[in-house]
A and B are shown apart, each in its own frame.
Chain A
Amino acid sequence: MSHTPPHQYPGRLVVVEGIDGSGKSTQMDLLSDYLQSKGFGVLKSAWNSSPDISPIIRKAKKKQILTPYAFSLLHAADFSFRYTYEILPAMEAGMVVLSDRYIYTAIARDCARGIPKKWLLSNFRFAIVPDVTFFFRVDPEISYQRITRTRPIKFYEAGMDLNLSANPRESYILFQSKVLSEYEAMKNENGFHIVDATMSLEKTQASMRRILAPIIRSIS
């Protein structure tokens, strides 16, 4: 099987999407080790991690002062910075870019916050289409349990800014269910590979590698 990339770069863009607590970061780490052991150059890029912009997002989140549009625009700035200065250079250099969340995160979350999809699609139209997108599907109840095992739920991930419920757990379930249905609405059009997050770690990794094989084989 050969793979023709949806872009002209020699590199490959591999994306994982889904709500937190779905195990996608763990799978990305495993994938990164695997690819490096096979001799590929790998760049991992995580959501909200640009050196100059992500700190201001974190500060604003702490103060709980972000409106949906401010939230969206600051995350877009963070993404576009990483896109220009991390992702594209690695793509040009023929590396495999493992992007933990991509534009679909912004679209799903911000739509769930009531922002028009048309506006978001236009904002992110500069971003190339990934070679493959894995969508980790997990029930919000389960993801809530997984997250709260190690840390409390955060204000914005629970959608507390939307006043859905005064109870963080209830708010989280309501908000993330909305996010999930936005992902579902995008999955066919964008060819997401659905990963059942209740599957074992090994099985998931094996199936991701299988899907990836023809995509990375054609890297020159």
Chain B
Amino acid sequence: MERTTQYPGLLIAIEGTDGSGKTTQAELLKHYYLARGVGVVVSACNTVELIRGAISNLKQQNFLDPVTFSFLYAADFVDRFEHQIIPALEAGQLVIAEQYVYTVFGRAILRGIAPEWIANIFDFALVPAKTFYLDLPVEALLERVHWKTRQERFFDYYEAGMDLNLSNRKKDSFVIYQRRLIDMYREMARTYTMETIDAMQPIVRQQKTLRAKIDNLLSAHRKGIGQSGGDL
């Protein structure tokens, strides 16, 4: 993956498991920067309708081959990347990608995919100026998910990692799977020099840390492209 320096805009990514607070933090960042006159786009992972349909059909029929899924997730990502992220970067905006490529890496690697193979597939993408990893221990994640499910839904087969035969009980499987996923995120946080944020901290505290780091990145970026007349 290439670095983003050639664009007038700046790319930030937020990664973390479900329930780690990515959406909340991204939304707060958006309001903060918009209020300060910075153009912001929050790029969330909303799977393209056509691909979402295929994915859910395949899952229903138990066709869970991780290679096929890696290509489908990459096809979905390339659409978001080329039609949302790149145009926003070209227009000089701050792009906050809520869930970038690393979640797909983690899920694939846990299903036996070679790390360098999946990383190569996403080679067309850009390395964010910074990736923040919201780290949440599995116990806290469980509490948040339980709280969430009362209003929404119970986690699905795939999110519970049931295809990995970790346990016959969905809840046990979920705990084992999410624990492995968290280990994987922590390892990737080191490999890809992410900034780890303790997601157990109060929301406002996390937000303050994020703003301080992103403020610095923005001013460094402005200086870097100062002569060429960037918009940020």
Query: Do A and B make up one complex?
Result: yes
Q: Is A164 an interface residue (CB 8 A)?
A: no
Counting from the closest, the 8 A-B pairs by CB-CB distance are A77-B71, A73-B75, A56-B50, A84-B65, A122-B120, A76-B71, A80-B68, A52-B57
- Establish whether residues B67 and A52, one from each chain, have CB atoms under 8 Å apart when the complex forms: no
Beyond A73-B74, A80-B67, A81-B63, is A56–B82 a contact (Cβ under 8 Å)? Answer: no
Instruction: Let me know if A123 and B120 touch, CB within 8 A.
Output: yes
| A1 to B78 Cα, complex, angstroms | 48
Q: Does B166 lie at the interface of the complex (its beta carbon under 8 Å from any beta carbon of A)?
A: no
B78 and A70 contacting across the interface, CB-CB below 8 Å = yes
Question: Secondary structure of the B side of the interface?
Answer: helix
Chain B residues lying within 8 Å of A84, measured Cβ to Cβ, are 65, 67-68
A59 to B57, CA, bound (A): 16
Is B54 interfacial (CB 8 A cutoff)? yes
Determine whether A74 belongs to the interface, using a CB cutoff of 8 Å to chain B: yes
User: Chain B residues with Cβ under 8 A from A70's Cβ?
Assistant: 75, 78-79, 82
Q: A103-153: which residues lie under 8 A (CB-CB) from chain B?
A: 119, 122-123, 125-126
Enumerate A25-68 residues with CB–CB distance to B below 8 Å.
52-53, 55-56, 59-60, 67
- Within the assembled complex, what's the spacing in Å between the Cα atoms of A55 and B58? 13
A69, CB-defined interface residue at 8 Å: yes
A83 / chain B contacts, CB cutoff of 8 Å: 67
CB distance A77 to B75 under 8 Å?
yes
For residue B65, which residues in chain A have a CB less than 8 angstroms away from its CB? 80-81, 84-85
B124 beta carbon closer than 8 Å to chain A: yes
Q: How far is the CA of A207 from the CA of B61 in the complex (A)?
A: 42
0/1 interface trace, chain B 189-203, chain A, CB 8 Å (1 if under): 000000000000000
